[in-house]
Structure 1
Amino acid sequence: MSNTFIRKYPYVAAVIAAVICTFITAAGSAAAEIAGLKEVPASLIMTASVALSILVGLLLLRRSGFSAKEAGIRRPASGSVRPVWLFVPLLLIEVIPLVIYGPEFTRPGAEYAALALFTVVVGFNEELYFRGLSFTYLLSKSRKQAVIGSSFIFGVLHAANALNGTEPVEVLLQIAFAFLAGLTLALIVSITRSLWVGILWHIVHNFVSFNTELVFDQTALIVIMAQVFILAVYTAGLWKRGTAEA
């Protein structure tokens, strides 16, 4: 997509970028499932597809005329926010399932190594597309629209989980969580001008989620509702500063 197209149709460009990300990563997951691969080779296939998605994303960034720095691939701006306010709420979100369920470290080491690699590329990939490309495209409208628009796209695309037989209530909570997480991460990017905080949190969150996944029951409902509440409060605290025009 050219810079002219992006500036003329920023929402269309943001959606196209998000769909490209989703399609490429979903293709890898589908290929692994169709082939009936075991855990480690399946993780490696999915990792390869996400790595391909990252390369495509970087090519889109280059073609769009924005620099890597403009898209947030840079160190956080000095003094942009106090570390305690930046990290404590995000860490608390991950502590809750660990305390309630405890990590399920019962699988072979090779599976955890493959899973760790997968979560690293997924964290970079999703932040590149949703808080890098989509957010940057929508900045031509306004900072507030960039925050809300990129988060809405991120949340809606998580509705794809409904296609694998997930319970409707769980899907709605996942969408709410994704939307609020998207808001929080977009606000952090708006304040720090950097993707790295979001990338690190995304990696930790995915790894913890994969190792504490249980049946969706009343306890799981309480966990995700607590996480959504923390994200809502955190978003409210960051909102004014994160949506102020530079």
Structure 2
Amino acid sequence: MSNPRNKTLFSQRRPVLTVVIIEVLLLLAIFVAGAYVTIKEINNVSPVLISFIPISLILIIYLTWRRKWHDIGFQSLANIPKRHWLLYTPLIVVLVVISLDGFKEVTVSEVFYFIFFTLLVGFVEETVYRGLILKTLLNKSIRVAVITSSILFSLTHLLNVMSGQSMEQTLLQLVYALVMGVVLALLMIKNANIWPLITFHFLHNLIQFLGNEQSTTLGYDIIVILILIIQCVWLMVSLKKQHVAG
């Protein structure tokens, strides 16, 4: 007689270890790409770009082979109840706020490069953090899944120190990413659909890349963090009501 335990997925038996492996492999890929860029003295190519291209291919192959696209949120937008779309409105406000600083002059080729780069980052990071990691940790609890996936997402931005960013800017970005990670994780749990999250992540990063670099964005960053904190509270109340009603 076969042992039922043998049929249980490793990610279900060892969710924490699975998440550690995913995070370590992701960071290792970025570090290796960074070392390569440094050794080869390639100044115009991001280590993230070099590392995320093969990672995205691996994700596509894995999700297709294991038939997990639907499981981690790649579902029809029609599955989102109409009343739940209202929960995404603060994200639209965030996009408007970060656009207020204006945009720099860029060439057409630069625009296409930034679109490709930000789409790539949005797909990889959302698939990893709000897809694989969040889904895996839900075997522990919703609270563990949301907090852990958001902390790991935030800590990944520590790598920006390597690119010359100041510690103060990096600390602000860690808080920014942490709160954003919580919001996106809660939205994923609420609607089980990753497409709006990838779209927001893509547009958010694209606006930042095209944004005016000559002026400070500290005030806008603080406003965005406050908006996201309010959205966190809204989502938690909504999920609590849903749980009670269920």
Compute the TM-score of the two structures, normalised by the length of structure 1. Answer: 0.83
What do the CA deviations read for 1:93-143 (whole angstroms, capped 9, x no partner)?
1222321x2011x22211111111111111001001000100011011112
Within the alignment, does 1:226 sit opposite 2:223 as a pair?
A: yes
AA at the equivalent of 1:172: L
Alpha-carbon distance, 1:62 to partner: 6.6
Within the alignment, does 1:79 sit opposite 2:87 as a pair?
A: no
Q: How does 1:42-121 map to 2 (within 5 A)?
A: 42=45, 47=49, 49-59=51-61, 61=63, 67-76=68-77, 77-79=79-81, 81-86=83-88, 88-99=89-100, 101-104=101-104, 106-121=105-120
- What is the root-mean-square deviation of aligned Cα atoms in Å? 2.7
- Rounded Cα–Cα distance in structure 1 between residues aligned with 2:8 and 2:57: 19
| Count of aligned pairs | 236
Alpha-carbon distance, 1:165 to partner: 3.6
What do the CA deviations read for 1:133-189 (whole angstroms, capped 9, x no partner)?
000110111122211111111112222223334222211111111111111111111
Alpha-carbon distance, 1:61 to partner: 4.8
- Rounded Cα–Cα distance in structure 1 between residues aligned with 2:18 and 2:212: 34
Gap regions ≥5 residues in structure 2: 1-6
| Paired position in structure 2 for 1:140 | 139
Identity %: 25
Within the alignment, does 1:236 sit opposite 2:233 as a pair?
A: yes
| Paired position in structure 2 for 1:13 | 18
Alpha-carbon distance, 1:4 to partner: 3.6
| Paired position in structure 1 for 2:4 | none
- Rounded Cα–Cα distance in structure 2 between residues aligned with 1:188 and 1:72: 11
| Paired position in structure 2 for 1:189 | 188
- Secondary structure at the aligned position of 2:202 is classed as helix
What do the CA deviations read for 1:71-97 (whole angstroms, capped 9, x no partner)?
1111243317432331x2112112223
Q: For the structure 1 residues 213 and 132, does the alpha-carbon distance in structure 2 shift closer, same or farther, using more than 3 Å as the test?
A: farther
User: Between Structure 1 and Structure 2, whose CA radius of gyration is higher?
Assistant: 2
Alpha-carbon distance, 1:47 to partner: 4.1
| Paired position in structure 2 for 1:122 | 121
- Rounded Cα–Cα distance in structure 2 between residues aligned with 1:242 and 1:162: 36
Whether the aligned pair in 2 keeps the contact of 1:15 and 1:153 (CA below 8 Å) is: no
- Rounded Cα–Cα distance in structure 2 between residues aligned with 1:167 and 1:137: 34
- Rounded Cα–Cα distance in structure 2 between residues aligned with 1:90 and 1:68: 24
- Rounded Cα–Cα distance in structure 2 between residues aligned with 1:172 and 1:3: 40
Compute the TM-score of the two structures, normalised by the length of structure 2. Answer: 0.83
- Rounded Cα–Cα distance in structure 2 between residues aligned with 1:13 and 1:213: 40
Q: For the structure 1 residues 115 and 29, does the alpha-carbon distance in structure 2 shift closer, same or farther, using more than 3 Å as the test?
A: farther
Q: For the structure 1 residues 108 and 239, does the alpha-carbon distance in structure 2 shift closer, same or farther, using more than 3 Å as the test?
A: same
- Rounded Cα–Cα distance in structure 2 between residues aligned with 1:18 and 1:80: 34
Gap regions ≥5 residues in structure 1: none
